[in-house]
A = this chain, B = another copy of it.
């Protein structure tokens, strides 16, 4: 593997999960692997978990880490070909990408969807720009379309907590006051298709994800029916994909409750709005896996960086 842009860059998910769990038990065992290697973490959007966990993972591997916020430390980049750059953009992705690659061995990038321009979002101009114009490996720290470090952490968490050969896993849409991207849901759906599981998505009509991603996954608009006998319930809001970036409804009946959850384990990528997406009783109860999911972000990043370093 050279780049880690999507969950589909993993050649053998169960093997990676197994190895990540070994790393988790001995996080500093590979501290020589990254010696004299540098990673740049480039943030075009804010971050808490991803910032700290990816930095931690790199340090666990002995790498040197440089963090840069493009928003307030850099300037606006241009992505269009042939643009006469006499407006607001100061540097073209062609130069920025090549320049960054002079200073580091791996670049990890966060660049969210705009949610206003579907075509541009799906083109993944930032991530693909860096991939196209550099020779170094690129790691996706959440792009317009996917969040594969999160999905890999979720796979590790499922593996740790699952007691069945084929658990029932439900991805359940939740209300939210703001328009959120599809990245986390997309990567989770992609990851689940690499798993042995009975996997169902439930959401209100109008909230269909990209069909190219959901493919043959069962979609059930009746949340109650979808949740029956679930072992794991992954809750997440996303805005409409069809009516791109719109908040079609905020129906609080879709909020996850302890009652609806039954005996299933609760998962969410965080940050989460309490009593909007999910009620307190779920997050404060013993069925919640959200903190362990966050913890596994370190080992998800660490296995990705380890695979890349071994391949440099």
Interface residues of A (CB under 8 A from B): 28, 36, 38, 40, 43, 46-49, 51-53, 55-56, 59, 64, 66, 68-69, 71-75, 78, 82-87, 89-92, 94-96, 98-100, 102-104, 177, 250, 270-276, 280, 283-284, 290-291, 294-295, 297-298
Partner of A91, one of B48, B73, B99, B250: B48
- Known contacts A84-B275, A95-B272; A73 and B46 CB within 8 A of each other: yes
In the complex, A211 Cα to B272 Cα: how many Å?
40
In the complex, A244 Cα to B277 Cα: how many Å?
37
Nearest-neighbour CB distance to chain B for A93, whole angstroms, equals 11
B82 pairs with A280, CB closer than 8 A: yes
A275 pairs with B85, CB closer than 8 A: yes
Prevailing SS type, chain A contact patch:
mixed
Nearest-neighbour CB distance to chain B for A36, whole angstroms, equals 5
In the complex, A53 Cα to B270 Cα: how many Å?
32
- Known contacts A82-B280, A102-B291; A43 and B73 CB within 8 A of each other: yes
Neighbouring B residues of A283 by C-beta, 8 Å:
94-95
In the complex, A89 Cα to B178 Cα: how many Å?
11
Neighbouring B residues of A84 by C-beta, 8 Å:
274-276
In the complex, A69 Cα to B48 Cα: how many Å?
10
Neighbouring B residues of A71 by C-beta, 8 Å:
72
A52 pairs with B75, CB closer than 8 A: no
Other A-B pairs, 16, CB within 8 Å; known A52-B104, A99-B270: A48-B68, A48-B73, A48-B74, A48-B91, A48-B100, A52-B68, A52-B103, A53-B103, A71-B72, A83-B274, A86-B177, A91-B271, A94-B283, A98-B291, A99-B294, A102-B298
